[in-house]
Amino acid sequence: MTKSDLLLLAVVAVLTVVALSPLVSYDKWVPAAAFILIFSFAKPIYYFLDAGTALHVGIAGAVPRIMTTGLVLLVMSGWFALRRTRSGVNVVLFIPFLVYLIIALSVIWGTNRLTLAGSLALLMAVVGWYCGSKTLQHMAEEPAKSAAFVAAAFLFMVAQSVIGILQTLGVDLFVPVIVDDDTVAGRANGSFDHPASLGKVVLLVCILVLPFAVRTTRNISVLSAATLILASIPLALSAGRANMLGYAILLVCWFLLSINRRLFRVKLGAGLLITTPILLFVGWIAWTRVLERNETDPQGGGRERFYNVAMQHLGEIWTYGVGPNSYVDYFGKFDRLTAVGWPVHNAPLLLVAEIGAVGLFLLCIPLMHSSFLALSRLSDRNISGDAAAVWVCAVIALTPIMTTGWGLVNESIFPALMFTFGFLYQAMRDRNIAAAMSSAAESYRAPAGRPS
């Protein structure tokens, strides 16, 4: 275990103790600190079975294990449960998938190290949705809690930008597991094990703060805007082509939807004059790195080959899959490179191969429900409508990432992805909470002596 790993584990331990301590009176910082931990890194801290020297590439490790992300999510869930917030979270949407997971483990896939590890990773993703929903409820209680959350997102982006710059300058900090691969050489990875992971999580944080960029207090909106602008630095340094494309799609779609919803008008001011040159400079860096990657990795790391392998052998198992986390073990029998540890670089296709079309459909029930909900909430003139607009933009922005890679469903990122979805879903679902947040923001912004 490296010094970086020990430092991260120490931070987790300290913040966990603080979060559970009855001496903590500023509860607005507990979800904010948990959010930083969930999104900043994921390291294994406890193995339920002996891992030995096994190295496995998949949505989870070679054996069932608790990650730092999972520990924080469990502590966070307990903290929210003890608080007994006023409004519930709709977890019924996940019951069909959880029942299917139990039955399939018992009857179809069998319980072995790989399937148990994959099932635990999927379960942690469901817990991530729950914690994201509860975090939104917590923020709705007062603007100060929203400010703490957005401030945490800003601090996350500052940290990843600083780490990324230092790594680009040659400082050995959070050295990735794979260092001799041409696809990662020269790319910043932040506090993560892979540059692509950095880009994906940065994009998820952008999605989380986007609903608070305009219709909220001035401090929160400024922090949100600063976070979104600062995100361009780690994205550019990590040189993830799909991630940068997703970032551009997210902001452009949100900008167009916001103008259409008359959320704001474009004004020429000092802020625009300052941020435009910065974004152009970072954009130039990003474009330069994309050109460099196109020269060294024009085929995207053999994605076409992995796709063909999956499609050639999917017909036999597509209904129920081969078991969560078992793709490489099964499809590796047909392709040498897959057996080395290269899953198909397509997240939906990977899930179909592992949990089957039935499992993927059941897992997507909350997402499909949320998409229909988003379309019905777009006209709302409050946080609910803003979250709906961001949901639509996020689905479009994440599509190229989901279809050209599988990292979003890995145990280190999938809980963060579901946290993000649960967060947006709760903002759309509970109109009372959304109205209260918008009203509180309006009252906070209103000048003294003037009714809001």
- Cβ(401)–Cβ(203) below 8 Å: yes
At residue 304, the pLDDT reads 87
pLDDT digits (tens, 9 = 90+) for 228-238: 999 999 998 99
pLDDT digits (tens, 9 = 90+) for 319-352: 999 999 999 999 999 999 999 889 999 999 999 9
Q: Rounded CA gap, 248 and 240, in Å?
A: 12
pLDDT above 60 (res 133): yes
Mean pLDDT of the chain: 84
Return the residue matching tokens 């703060």: 209
Q: Is 145 helix (H, G, I), strand (E, B) or coil?
A: helix
Position with higher pLDDT, 158 vs 84: 158
At residue 327, the pLDDT reads 96
pLDDT digits (tens, 9 = 90+) for 26-36: 577 888 988 99
Distances (CA, A) of 100 to 11, 288, 327: 37, 47, 19
**Burial track 102-140 (b if 16+ CB lie within 10 A, e otherwise):** eebbeebbeeebbbbbbbbbbebbbbbbbbbbbbbbbbb
DSSP string, 149-208: HHHHHHHHHHHHHHHHHHHHTT---S--S--S-TTTTT---TTSSSHHHHHHHHHHHHHH
Q: Quickly state the pLDDT bin for 78 (edges 50, 70, 90).
A: confident
At residue 144, the pLDDT reads 82
At residue 450, the pLDDT reads 41
Position with higher pLDDT, 127 vs 144: 127
Q: Which two tokens stand for residue 360?
A: 């993927």
Q: Which helix (H) or strand (E) holds 347?
A: helix 347-363
- Provide the total of helices (H) and of strands (E) in the chain, helices listed first: 19, 2
In one-letter notation, the amino acid at residue 229 is I
Q: Rounded CA gap, 250 and 256, in Å?
A: 10
Q: Quickly state the pLDDT bin for 55 (edges 50, 70, 90).
A: confident
- Cβ(324)–Cβ(59) below 8 Å: yes
In one-letter notation, the amino acid at residue 192 is F
Which residues, listed in sequence order, are joined to residue 44 by a DSSP beta bridge? 67
What is the mean pLDDT of the segment spanning 203-225?
Answer: 88
pLDDT above 60 (res 300): no
pLDDT digits (tens, 9 = 90+) for 82-106: 876 655 677 889 999 999 999 999 9
Q: Rounded CA gap, 118 and 307, in Å?
A: 21
What is the mean pLDDT of the segment spanning 274-287?
Answer: 62
**Burial track 402-440 (b if 16+ CB lie within 10 A, e otherwise):** bbbbbbbbbbbbbbbbbbbbbbbbbbbbbeebbbbbbeb
Q: Quickly state the pLDDT bin for 202 (edges 50, 70, 90).
A: very high
pLDDT above 60 (res 448): no
| DSSP assigned state of 409 | G
pLDDT digits (tens, 9 = 90+) for 347-404: 999 999 999 999 999 999 999 999 999 999 988 888 888 999 999 999 999 999 999 9
pLDDT above 70 (res 246): yes
The percent of the chain in helix, strand and coil, each rounded to the nearest 5, is 70, 0, 30
What is the mean pLDDT of the segment spanning 143-156?
Answer: 90
pLDDT above 90 (res 286): no
Domains of the chain, by residue range, sit at 3-439
At residue 241, the pLDDT reads 87
Position with higher pLDDT, 263 vs 229: 229
pLDDT above 70 (res 5): no
23, 29, 34, 36: CA torsion to nearest 10: -140
Position with higher pLDDT, 248 vs 418: 418
